[in-house]
Amino acid sequence: MINYKQLCLKQRYQIQSLLDMGLSQTEIADYIGVHKSTISRELGRNIPKRGRKAGRYISEHAQRKTDHRHSKKARHVLLTECMKVRIKSLMVYEKWSPELIAKRLSKESETCVSHETIYKWIWMEKHSNHRDHSDYKSLHKHLRHTGRRQKRNNVKDRRGAIKGRIGIDKRPEVVEARSRIGDIEVDLMMGSNHKSALLVMTDRATLVTMIEKLKSKNAEEVYEKMSNRLTNFNSCWIKTITFDNGKEFAHHQHIARI
């Protein structure tokens, strides 16, 4: 396998100096440490044929021409229009989240971008007024959390610390592999104006989901719903439960004990 590298400005300065000294293309290639065809292509592309500098290689001009060619070069776009239509359909009609879309499509051997790319695209479409983006402008309304997502490592998080919390970095490595049943992720899905909520408990491996309706985000009600639901199972079936840092999960230690 050949590793191809672009010439840098420093090498172009060397090419100009060596040409002025009268060296051949082969000698220049040996001196710089590249193939002689690289020098041949470089001179063919970047020596002007008209104007005051015609027939002369100038390193700064060659670098500018190369940068311009790269800026105009067609790029391989993963988030194609066909994929956008597919994502919109799954969000609007199937009510899938970007995380679920990215995971499920990759598992089913469909080409897909990461969930973070999907989020960035959704917010870009929301704030764009270009007519080409009008079909996706309201797609953000189909997100489970319609507000902007909280940034990672946000030091200004004022939601309050949960007593006795165990960081996700302490979670067993087997959980990330999704190779066993019984690793549960718990989250809330808020209703209109935050007047109601759904308690969503999903097994990471099978994606089997248990849903309980809540009247509020009160920690006592969340604890009661989880207690009633999870005690219906054999305790050996549940291996781990992962919550987020919301105060509605303040009774996580009680849930762990039952």
CA distances 116 to 119, 135, 155, Å, are 5, 20, 21
pLDDT of residue 156: 53
pTM for the model stands at: 0.37
Whether the pLDDT of residue 79 is over 80: the answer is yes
- The mean pLDDT of 218-239, rounded to a whole number, is 77
CA 53 to centroid of chain Cα atoms? 46
* Spatial contact of 42 and 59, defined as CB atoms under 8 Å apart: no
Whether the pLDDT of residue 132 is over 80: the answer is no
pLDDT of residue 1: 44
Count Cβ atoms below 10 Å from residue 149 Cβ, excluding itself. Answer: 11
Q: How many whole angstroms separate alpha carbon 191 and alpha carbon 199?
A: 11
Q: How confident is the model at residue 60 (pLDDT cuts 50, 70, 90)?
A: very high
Comparison of pLDDT for 246 and 117, the residue scoring more: 117
Q: How many whole angstroms separate alpha carbon 184 and alpha carbon 202?
A: 5
Q: How confident is the model at residue 133 (pLDDT cuts 50, 70, 90)?
A: confident
pLDDT of residue 237: 77
Percentage of the residues of the chain whose pLDDT score is greater than 70: 87
The model's pLDDT over 62-74, given as tens digits with 9 standing for 90+, comes to 999 988 888 887 6
Structure letter (DSSP) for residue 159: S
Q: How confident is the model at residue 200 (pLDDT cuts 50, 70, 90)?
A: confident
Return the top range by mean pLDDT from 90-104, 149-163, 236-250: 90-104
Q: How many whole angstroms separate alpha carbon 249 and alpha carbon 179?
A: 26
- The mean pLDDT of 108-122, rounded to a whole number, is 86
* Spatial contact of 75 and 46, defined as CB atoms under 8 Å apart: no
Whether the pLDDT of residue 10 is over 80: the answer is yes
Whether the pLDDT of residue 161 is over 70: the answer is no
**183-190/240-242 β-pairing:** parallel
Count Cβ atoms below 10 Å from residue 168 Cβ, excluding itself. Answer: 12
Mean pLDDT estimate for the chain: 82
**Which residues are CB-contacts of 180 (< 8 A; sequence separation ≥ 6)?**
174, 205, 239
Q: How many whole angstroms separate alpha carbon 247 and alpha carbon 219?
A: 7
Q: How confident is the model at residue 146 (pLDDT cuts 50, 70, 90)?
A: low
- The mean pLDDT of 128-156, rounded to a whole number, is 72
Whether the pLDDT of residue 211 is over 70: the answer is yes
* Spatial contact of 218 and 249, defined as CB atoms under 8 Å apart: no
